[in-house]
């Protein structure tokens, strides 16, 4: 199946519709069904796993869940897509994720849980159905969205250094997350940990999954807080201080290195370690922590890595010195 190729404005507009308006329509429709079915049936429905009367709760629990989860997700995804002005039309997987998440929670925690509430497998059956429908909806969104035409222009490679045959040029830099982002992630993880401890002590150890979210946040912070970047005769290397993620472009695979203007939100949809399809529709890794000049290193197959380091010009010049075309 070939995708329809359109200009940047059309592709971005379609992506915004799929990220904001389609999920909003799904949430509204789900809320109407939940209120219509739940409000005319039993006042208490099965709301969680367990046995006996403790398994039930008021029917409007599902109506609250549909809105309480749906609207913040739409607002968050919509905010990032609105700001991702350069890459929105090239990355249909982002709207696909937004639609998939919306379908999962509106079906699994809303419509399905109310309509199939009498099933002995409730709420497991609606949640399983939500997963299946979410994957189908996300896949359909990905296929139906038009694609932005690849960019025809290219960035200019840096000038190589005048290195003599007996000399070796090398460069090392660091990419660090901004302090405000580290503080935000740490605070969020800390609050979730405190909440988890409180719930486990007061409600029971069966609520231990609440610790998964803060643990994931802390792991992400650990592997992305500081990244070491190296350029030299061996090529280009980007490595977290804990050893992963680890990305390398050998010297023989280098196409070119250049200084580019980077806007984390516009180019990658956020800060930290990112992966998107770039302007040429090739994979583009980003280790981005600020707006401004950055280093972009291209492989010979068109893929690239972008890092927002100090003195990107020197790093690009070192890599150009050892690129195969300069050898």
pLDDT in tens, 306-327: 999 988 999 999 898 888 765 4
Q: Confidence band (pLDDT; 50, 70, 90) for 151?
A: confident
Residue 85's Cα: distance from chain center in Å?
15
Helix (H) or strand (E) segment spanning residue 146: none
Strand 56-58 relative to strand 235-240, pairing: unpaired
Contact (Cβ atoms closer than 8 angstroms) between residue 81 and residue 93 = no
Which pLDDT belongs to residue 55? 61
Q: What is the mean pLDDT of residues 6-18?
A: 90
Q: How confident is the model at residue 295 (pLDDT cuts 50, 70, 90)?
A: very high
pTM to 2 decimal places: 0.74
Mean pLDDT across 232-256: 88
* Burial degree of 224 (CB within 10 A; 0-12, 13-18, 19+): buried
- 48 phi/psi in degrees, rounded to 5: -160, 165
Q: CB-based burial of residue 253 (10 Å sphere; 0-12 exposed, 13-18 middle, 19+ buried)?
A: middle
Is residue 51 over pLDDT 60? no
Whether a cis peptide bond, with omega within 30° of 0, leads into 245 is yes
Query: What proportion of the chain, given as a percentage, has pLDDT over 90?
Result: 26
**pLDDT score recorded for residue 192:** 84
pLDDT digits (tens, 9 = 90+) for 73-113: 899 888 888 888 888 888 888 899 999 999 998 998 888 88
pLDDT tens, 186-228?
Answer: 888 888 888 888 877 877 676 677 788 888 888 888 877 788 9
- Count of Cβ atoms closer than 10 Å to residue 41 Cβ: 14
- Dihedral, 202, 208, 209, 211 alpha carbons, nearest 10: 90
Mean pLDDT (the chain) is 84
User: Does 54 have pLDDT greater than 60?
Assistant: yes
């Amino acid at each position: 199946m070939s995708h329809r190729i359109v200009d940047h404005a059309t592709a971005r507009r379609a992506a915004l519709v799929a990220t904001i308006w389609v999920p909003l329509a799904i949430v509204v429709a789900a809320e109407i069904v939940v209120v219509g079915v739940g409000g005319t049936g039993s006042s208490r429905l099965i709301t969680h796993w367990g046995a006996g009367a403790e398994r039930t709760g008021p029917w409007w629990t599902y109506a609250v869940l549909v809105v309480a989860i749906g609207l913040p997700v739409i607002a968050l995804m919509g905010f990032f897509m609105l700001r991702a002005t350069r890459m929105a039309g090239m990355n249909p997987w982002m709207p696909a994720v937004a639609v998939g998440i919306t379908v999962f929670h509106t079906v699994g925690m809303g419509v399905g849980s109310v309509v199939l509430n009498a099933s002995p497998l409730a709420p497991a059956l609606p949640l399983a159905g939500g997963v299946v429908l979410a994957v189908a909806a996300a896949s359909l969104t990905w296929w139906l969205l038009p694609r932005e035409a690849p960019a025809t222009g290219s960035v200019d490679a840096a000038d190589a250094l005048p290195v003599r045959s007996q000399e070796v040029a090398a460069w090392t830099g660091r990419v660090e997350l901004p302090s405000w982002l580290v503080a935000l992630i740490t605070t969020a993880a800390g609050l979730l940990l405190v909440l988890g401890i409180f719930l486990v002590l007061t409600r029971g150890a069966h609520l231990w999954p609440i610790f998964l979210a803060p643990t994931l946040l802390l792991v992400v912070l650990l592997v992305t807080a500081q990244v070491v970047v190296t350029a030299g005769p061996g090529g280009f290397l980007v490595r977290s201080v804990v050893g992963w993620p680890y990305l390398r472009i050998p010297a023989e695979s280098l196409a070119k290195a250049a200084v580019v203007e980077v806007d984390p939100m516009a180019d990658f949809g956020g800060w930290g370690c990112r992966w998107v399809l770039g302007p040429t529709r090739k994979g583009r890794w980003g280790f981005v922590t600020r707006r401004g000049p950055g280093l972009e290193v291209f492989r010979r197959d068109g893929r690239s890595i972008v890092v927002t380091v100090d003195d990107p010009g020197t790093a690009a010049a070192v890599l150009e010195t050892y690129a195969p075309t300069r050898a």
